Amino acid sequence: MEGIVAPHVYASVTLGERSVPLITDAVIVTWVVMAIIMVATLLLTRRLRPVPKGGQKVAETIVSLIEGLVKDQLGHHYRTYAPYLGTILIFLVLANIVGIFDILPQGPALAAVFHNPALAEFELEMHPPTKNLNVTLCLAVMSLVVAVGAEFRQRGVRGWLRSFYRPTPVSAFVKLLDYIVRPMSLCLRLFGNMLGGTIVMALMYMALPLFAPAAVGIYFDLFDGGMQAYVFVFLTMIYIAEAVETEDEMKQ
């Protein structure tokens, strides 16, 4: 259980007297997911035709789905924010369900098959990177940065500062609290769900290794992963919409 909760560290640097992990399994799985996304993107949009065919259809469906989703909340601002929201949606969906591909042979098995003792050290379990708090915290902070950036963009720095003491100076406290609570809630929700799902799945594999994990995995790996990705993106979108829309309402 410790191996699931704690990140697997591949390289670390020493800062002062503490050794801080540099490369963890979350980073490596993120790279794998990114590589898959990038290669898939290039393959799907290789040759664009007026009448879509094969991969282009998939790419167009994904793009129009995401743009429609963002347009519902942000209206005409969707052009600015759809790429970011789409990126984290695609990334989170794939990163959250990557647990079902946890089929890589681990070090000892590789060493036995290839008669190479050097391989025994190899260990990479395809667990969702979002079960690492650092990843979700970074995503949540980026969502906050994007939302505040949208506010800057919409009202300027001065308008942003003014929003602290409007309608009353007390609201500055609420707003500051918002800036802390929102990313914390985003980050912990995703982190807790993914870590909990991974732990439950590990327990399932331990208790009933044969058929039960397949049935339970549909919920914990696929449904919950997609759900949480959607919720994360949706909440980020609502924060951006809040920053963007008030200005439009003020103009009216």
Interhelix angle 78-97/133-165, nearest 10 degrees: 150
Single residue of 5, 104, 214, 215 touching other proteins by CB under 8 A: 5
Report, in Å, the least distance between residue 65 CB and other proteins.
Answer: 12
Single residue of 73, 96, 154, 228 touching other proteins by CB under 8 A: 228
Q: Name, in order, each residue with C-beta under 8 angstroms of 98's C-beta and a sequence gap of 6 or more.
A: 29, 32, 33, 126, 127, 128, 129
> Which single residue is written with the structure tokens 């594999």?
205
Beta bridge partners of 15: 18
Interacting positions 60-99 with other proteins (CB under 8 A) = 60, 62-64, 66-67, 82-84, 86-88, 90-91
Single residue of 68, 196, 208, 214 touching other proteins by CB under 8 A: 196
Say if CB 246 and CB 153 are below 8 A apart.
Answer: no
Number of residues interacting with other proteins: please give it, by CB under 8 A.
Answer: 61
Q: Name, in order, each residue with C-beta under 8 angstroms of 11's C-beta and a sequence gap of 6 or more.
A: 21, 22, 23
Three-state SS annotation for 84-126 = HHHHHHHHHHHHHHHHHHCCCCCHHHHHHHHCCHHHHHCCCCC
Interacting positions 131-150 with other proteins (CB under 8 A) = 132-135, 137-139, 141-142
CA-to-CA distance for 129 and 191, rounded, in angstroms?
Answer: 9
Among 2-10, 114-122, 161-169, 240-248, the segment contacting other proteins (CB under 8 A):
2-10
- Please, what is the end-to-end C-alpha distance for the chain in angstroms? 56
Q: Which is nearer to other proteins, 74 or 82 (CB)?
A: 82
Q: Binding of other proteins at residue 160 (CB under 8 A)? A: no
| Positions that interact with other proteins (CB under 8 A) | 2, 5-7, 13, 20-24, 26-27, 30-31, 34, 37-38, 41-42, 45, 48, 50, 56, 59-60, 62-64, 66-67, 82-84, 86-88, 90-91, 129, 132-135, 137-139, 141-142, 185, 188-189, 191-193, 195-196, 227-228, 230-231, 234
